[in-house]
Chains A and B, each alone.
Chain A
Amino acid sequence: MDILKKSFKKSIWVFHLSTAACNNCDIEVLELLTPKYDVERFGIKLVGSPRHADALLVCGSVNAHAKPRLLEVYRQTPKPCLVVAFGSCGCSSGIFRDSYSIVGPVDKVIKEEDPNALIVYVPGCPPKPEAMIEAIVMGLGVV
């Protein structure tokens, strides 16, 4: 079992989910795949289905429309899985906090579904690629 757990840390497949983001974080994620930051060195790759994912990369302040979708995707992801609250909006709803359509930052919504969820925060608007890599590595320390 120990070797399987170790291999989990060496191969993180990420599903990227946008919940009412302004699209800047979504663009920034692509930088991780470029030659300069190449996250495939650490076995990280983007996948197309939440069923294959080990980490959910959630961008955006969650609004009322996106909340059921976020919860549905979280339920569809096999556990153990890591949730990365990405950008200022993901961490705290950013400048949209207390707006009429915003139901909360990512962690509040996810904890309604699963109080013991593993959540990593990456602040920044948008975060730097180095910050994203550091966040994933810190998150693996928790798993």
Chain B
Amino acid sequence: MKLLFYYLVFPGFIFSSVVGLLTVWLDRKVSARVQWRQGPPWYQGFADIGKLLYKEVIIPREAFGSGFIAAPLFGLASVILAVTILCVSFFGMSEGFIGDIIVVWYLFTIPAIALVYIGSTSGNPLSSVGVAREIKLLLSYDLPMIIVIVMIASKAGGFSIRSIMEWQMANGSNISNWYGIVAFIVTIFCIQAKLGRVPFDLAEAETELGSGILMELSGGVLAAYELSKAIMLFGLPLFLTVLFWGKGIIGGILIYLLIVVLLILIKNTNPRVRIDHAMKYFWGWMSGAAIIASLLAYFGV
């Protein structure tokens, strides 16, 4: 019963979708202010989801119907599970379990895999270009991110969110050391790619592929995807907060907002990269930086 409450109400579905949709609004509002515009009202994210639920759902003839509807729901469910595990440890409601940091990171990967499934089943040539890019992007940003997660977990001496937070409470935040700063720069680009935001939005390149991988989604199916993206926009900056900031919830929330604003500014000041550039960037520069961060951590800088 308690677990169901966690999953559906407090850190789970309702809480995370409300915070996630407000973060989406923050994203659009700050982007608008950067471009000297007024921007949408605060309820815009909710209105978009409500509107999409009101619309007709069209399933392409080539698509495998039930899978086409089930895949985004599957992605949504796993994102909610990831956020629940993360928040339960973050707010100190439970001890968590060994290895939950890895579980959370891979649960955040499932929406991308669901999207790959939908894109490849929808029978649209532009979607299949998007699918190829999404898979390559998935392979490229995973490597530096996993190096950083393993580095931080072995520094803390345990693969659980709780132990990472407790180690930081005892020994100071990771971000206050040199290795933490390098690792933070690596991870912020990794989650930018994971969220599919502008320098790395190759899979759904709106002006180039006409929404690419999302092209055939409509109505409620698109609403499920948009909602899972909103929850990821809440969950992934929180994931970084847990990795790099271990001192209390209030400071954590401020760091969370700082990370979100940083993501928005990266989005607004960069053009879209090509897929070969993105892969070179993640496997070359970012992985190199992650290894340097690990060496710095090993020598205790």
Binding site for B on A (CB under 8 A): 1, 3-8, 10-11, 34-35, 38, 40-41, 43, 47-49, 51-52, 54, 76, 78-80
Contacts and interface: CB of A to CB of B under 8 A. Distances in A.
B54 A7 contact: yes
A11 B53 CA distance: 12
Contact of A4 (B44, B53, B58, B211): B53
Given A8-B50, A48-B207, A40 B32 contact: yes
B47 A7 contact: yes
A11 B254 CA distance: 30
A118 to B, nearest CB: 14
Contacts of A34: 37
Given A7-B46, A48-B211, A79-B56, A54 B37 contact: no
Given A8-B51, A35-B35, A47-B206, 11 more contacts: A4-B54, A7-B54, A8-B55, A10-B41, A11-B44, A11-B50, A35-B38, A38-B37, A51-B58, A52-B218, A54-B55
Interface residues of B, number: 35
State the 6 A-B residue pairs at the shortest beta-carbon distance, nearest first. A7-B50, A4-B54, A10-B47, A48-B210, A78-B56, A48-B206
A54 B219 CA distance: 10
A40 B50 contact: no
A120 to B, nearest CB: 18
B222 A52 contact: yes
Contacts of A79: 55-56
B47 A11 contact: yes
5 contacts: A11-B44, A35-B37, A43-B48, A51-B211, A52-B217
A54 B47 CA distance: 13
Contacts of B218: 51-52, 78
Given A7-B51, A78-B218, A40 B28 contact: yes
B222 A35 contact: no
B40 interface: yes
A48 B208 CA distance: 9
Contacts of B35: 35
B39 interface: yes
A79 B58 CA distance: 9
B53 A41 contact: no
Contacts of A49: 210-211, 214-216
B209 A78 contact: no
- Which of B41, B50, B217 has the most chain A CB atoms closer than 10 A to its own CB? B50
A87 B76 CA distance: 42
B97 interface: no
Interface in B24-83: 28, 32, 35-41, 43-44, 46-51, 53-58
Nearest to A79: B56
Contacts of B41: 10, 41, 43
Among B39, B54, B209, chain A packs the most CB atoms within 10 A around the CB of: B54
